[in-house]
């Protein structure tokens, strides 16, 4: 069975074709058209511009995906319906309706989760990206419980906003990581770790961004190292607490921030079994949408929901 998957939840136009069999799956094509250069001047994603670019890019990306996969027979089509930017989601859904195939609606967060090769349940999942920070108890495929999530800024959003404050540009995660890596030794800058000692599993990162804004930053590399460590400290402590409370040994990471090597390194020291995606599948892609779709059934009538939750 061949599934063509489309992902347009934010600013990347993604189309993949994945072939499934009893032996497993094979990625026939995986095309991502990035809009980063267009959104740089805004310091973040500008929804109206993202929608326009999706409309322009979707036919072109589809043509590339089909050509690279050598025009295979398509059995089903999958599309992200949420969460994400509503104008962008609608663009993908409206486009997929014109293709004339059975449609499988997919939750974006579930895609980030299932792009990992999970072979043990229950597990704990931490999904961290520009728009999402969620701790999810994974009892099985399709069996999820959200334990905690951000109350304001997501971890990736905090990286982006701090990078803008420091004049490093957009997107911020990779720029802050590289700048932080260049700083040797301990930092003299002390930033807050919001909600780190609260008994719940929720997160908050807007205060950290504000603290950077009002702090007297003399060394950008030092500030980046402290910001990155503050975010990691909160993510690690909250996640380890949840794993201990639920007596779970396996941790699944997903989302764009999961590509951060320092975050992976520090989690690897703390958990018994760490499952992480290939870095190219950490950020938004359509392969993850195809994998999530494989476990679902087609539906006749679908509509995007920017507030859609995973359970």
Q: Does 228 reside within a domain?
A: yes
Distances (CA, A) of 235 to 134, 150, 197, 221, 304: 10, 11, 12, 21, 29
3-state secondary structure of 80: strand
Give Cα 188 distance to the centre of its chain: 32
Q: Does 303 reside within a domain?
A: no
How does DSSP classify residue 272? S
Question: What range does the domain containing 72 cover?
Answer: 2-114+282-294
For every residue of 199-244, DSSP letters joined together read SSS-B--HHHHHHHHHS--S-HHHHHHHHHHHHHHHHHHHHHHHHH
Same domain? 91 vs 136: no
Q: Does 309 reside within a domain?
A: no
Same domain? 128 vs 48: no
Same domain? 100 vs 129: no
Q: Does 289 reside within a domain?
A: yes
Same domain? 288 vs 230: no
CATH of the domain at 240: 3.30.420.40
Q: Does 147 reside within a domain?
A: yes
Per-residue pLDDT, 300: 67
Same domain? 165 vs 287: no
pLDDT digit of tens for each residue in the chain (311 aa)?
999 999 999 999 999 999 999 889 999 999 999 998 888 888 788 899 999 999 999 999 999 999 999 999 999 999 999 999 999 999 999 999 999 998 999 999 999 999 998 888 999 999 999 899 999 999 999 999 999 999 999 999 999 999 999 999 988 999 999 999 999 989 999 999 999 999 999 999 999 999 999 998 889 999 999 999 999 999 999 999 999 999 999 999 999 999 999 999 999 999 999 999 998 999 999 999 999 999 887 766 777 765 566 54
Same domain? 290 vs 271: no
Same domain? 88 vs 201: no
Same domain? 177 vs 107: no
Per-residue pLDDT, 51: 96
User: pTM for this one?
Assistant: 0.93
Per-residue pLDDT, 40: 85
Same domain? 80 vs 129: no
Per-residue pLDDT, 208: 95
Tally of structural domains, the chain: 2
Distances (CA, A) of 1 to 4, 36, 63, 98, 294: 10, 33, 20, 21, 9
Per-residue pLDDT, 311: 43
Same domain? 188 vs 107: no
Q: Does 302 reside within a domain?
A: no
Q: Does 310 reside within a domain?
A: no
Per-residue pLDDT reduced to its tens digit, 49-82? 999 999 999 999 999 999 999 999 999 999 999 9
Same domain? 87 vs 150: no
CA torsion sign for 8, 9, 11, 15 is negative
Same domain? 287 vs 241: no
Q: Does 20 reside within a domain?
A: yes
* Among the listed residues 129, 166, 132, 177, the one whose alpha carbon sits nearest the alpha carbon of residue 151: 132
């Amino acid at each position: 069975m061949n599934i063509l998957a489309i992902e347009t939840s934010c600013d990347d136009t993604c189309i993949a074709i994945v072939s499934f069999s009893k032996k497993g799956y094979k990625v026939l094509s995986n095309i991502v058209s990035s809009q980063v250069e267009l959104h740089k001047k805004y310091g973040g994603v500008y929804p109206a511009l993202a929608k326009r670019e999706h409309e322009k890019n979707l036919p072109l990306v589809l043509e590339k995906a089909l050509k690279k996969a050598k025009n295979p027979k398509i059995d089903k089509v999958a599309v992200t319906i949420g969460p994400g930017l509503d104008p962008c989601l609608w663009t993908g859904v409206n486009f997929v309706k014109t293709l004339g195939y059975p449609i499988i609606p997919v939750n974006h967060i579930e895609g980030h989760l299932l792009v990992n090769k999970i072979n043990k349940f229950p597990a704990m999942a931490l999904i961290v990206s520009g728009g999402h920070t969620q701790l999810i108890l994974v009892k099985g495929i399709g069996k999820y419980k959200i334990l905690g999530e951000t109350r304001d800024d997501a971890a990736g959003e905090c990286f982006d906003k701090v990078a803008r404050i420091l004049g490093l540009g957009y997107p911020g995660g990779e720029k802050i990581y590289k700048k932080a890596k260049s700083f040797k030794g301990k930092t003299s800058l002390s930033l807050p770790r919001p909600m780190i000692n609260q008994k719940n599993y929720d997160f908050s990162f807007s205060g950290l961004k504000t603290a950077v804004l009002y702090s007297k930053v003399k060394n950008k590399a030092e500030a980046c190292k402290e910001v990155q460590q503050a975010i990691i400290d909160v993510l690690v402590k909250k996640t380890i607490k949840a794993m201990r409370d639920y007596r779970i040994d396996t941790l699944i990471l997903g989302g764009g921030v999961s590509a951060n090597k320092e975050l992976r390194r520090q989690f690897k020291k703390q958990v018994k079994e760490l499952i992480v995606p290939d870095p190219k599948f950490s950020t938004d892609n359509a392969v993850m949408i195809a994998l999530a779709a494989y476990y679902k059934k087609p539906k006749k009538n679908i509509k995007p929901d920017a507030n859609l939750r995973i359970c």
